[in-house]
Amino acid sequence: MSGLERLSLNQITTKRWSLPEAVQGCVDAGIPAIGLWRDKVAETGLTEAAARVRDAGLTVSSLCRGGFLTADGPGTRQAALTENIRALEEAAELGTDTLVMVVGGLPEGSRDLAGARHRVADLLAELAPHAGDHGVRLAIEPLHPMFCADRAVVSTLAQALDLAAGHPPQQVGVVVDSYHVWWDPDLPRQIERAGPRIASFQVCDWTLPLPADSLLGRGHVGDGHIDFRALTDQVTAAGYTGWIEVEIFNERIWDTPGEQTVRTVIERHLTHVHGS
């Protein structure tokens, strides 16, 4: 279908689907790319998963996710390194050039935010050359500040770009996810600054009220408060020509049949994003 050339379905959006079902769902709907999750890949098996997407002719726009780099102490540090190198290998095997990095929150009982952020920078420096070796880019995802304590101490695009700045652009980039950054008064300037560092553009909408589990409050593009036309224009003006990946965490959407969700995803993409 015309207008879907840059659309990717992040498979969390159709969470109840297995990886083979999500691949088939994309093929049936004419969506040319898919964002994969490591747990779903593991369910199917890495080799089988890679074969499924390749045989279906889909591009893997990203693998979610590496990260969790804030843990303190030498044992957990080494474990995080090992786990992220494994994620890089999986990304390479799946044929994607983008590993989404959610950097992790404060360790249990810690209030040392500056320290946690320092450890992220430190581990990232160790990981970057490995990313280069695998031809995969570490895509640092700033998460909405409401996730700072428990999920990601990287909270703004500026901060992600500061972290990326010390590394080659082909090794470390950033994710622009509408849900996490839309509120930022400095966003237009930081998107412009990001330029070739933009490794992934993810979209979903900010809807209210937030549900009891604030992780699951995201809506279909067009259902909330974000101006996707303006945001897409900014990302495009910064030189990004890559995938536009729809990633939605929402229990109600997860309970909707996948085919219906995919139809909504396509409709909203054509209405609110495509053509910007």
Nearest approach, Cβ of residue 4 and a copy of itself (Å): 24
Q: Which stretch binds a copy of itself (CB under 8 A): 25-33, 68-76, 104-112, 193-201?
A: 104-112
* CA 119/CA 99 separation, integer angstroms: 19
Which amino acid, 242? G
Q: Which stretch binds a copy of itself (CB under 8 A): 35-43, 78-86, 165-173, 179-187?
A: 179-187
Binding mask 146-165 for a copy of itself (x = CB under 8 A): x-xxx---xxx-xx--x---
* CA 117/CA 112 separation, integer angstroms: 9
Determine if 186 is a binding residue for a copy of itself (CB under 8 A): yes
* CA 157/CA 212 separation, integer angstroms: 26
Q: Which is nearer to a copy of itself, 166 or 257 (CB)?
A: 166
Return the residue of 185, 241, 252, 275 that touches a copy of itself, per CB under 8 A.
Answer: 185
Determine if 259 is a binding residue for a copy of itself (CB under 8 A): no
Determine if 107 is a binding residue for a copy of itself (CB under 8 A): no
Pairing, β 218-219 against β 205-206: antiparallel
Determine if 28 is a binding residue for a copy of itself (CB under 8 A): no
Tell me how many degrees the CA angle 65-244-236 measures, rounded to the nearest 5. Answer: 120
Q: Which is nearer to a copy of itself, 48 or 112 (CB)?
A: 112
Residues paired with residue 64 on neighbouring β-strands, in sequence order = 37, 100
Nearest approach, Cβ of residue 225 and a copy of itself (Å): 4
Residues paired with residue 232 on neighbouring β-strands, in sequence order = none
Q: Are 27 and 57 in contact (CB under 8 A)?
A: yes
Q: Which stretch binds a copy of itself (CB under 8 A): 9-17, 45-53, 91-99, 141-149?
A: 141-149
* CA 172/CA 99 separation, integer angstroms: 10
* CA 81/CA 176 separation, integer angstroms: 24
Binding mask 203-242 for a copy of itself (x = CB under 8 A): ---x-xxxxxxx---------xxxx--x------------
Q: Are 91 and 100 in contact (CB under 8 A)?
A: no
Phi first, then psi: what are they for 3, rounded to 5°?
100, -10
Nearest approach, Cβ of residue 197 and a copy of itself (Å): 17
Determine if 197 is a binding residue for a copy of itself (CB under 8 A): no
Determine if 37 is a binding residue for a copy of itself (CB under 8 A): no
* CA 53/CA 63 separation, integer angstroms: 13
Q: Which is nearer to a copy of itself, 169 or 211 (CB)?
A: 211
In angstroms, what CA-CA distances link 259 with 13, 37, 54, 115? 11, 19, 21, 45
Return the residue of 65, 117, 269, 274 that touches a copy of itself, per CB under 8 A.
Answer: 117
Query: Which stretches of the chain bind a copy of itself, using CB under 8 A?
Result: 106, 111-114, 117, 144-146, 148-150, 154-156, 158-159, 162, 182-186, 206, 208-214, 224-227, 230
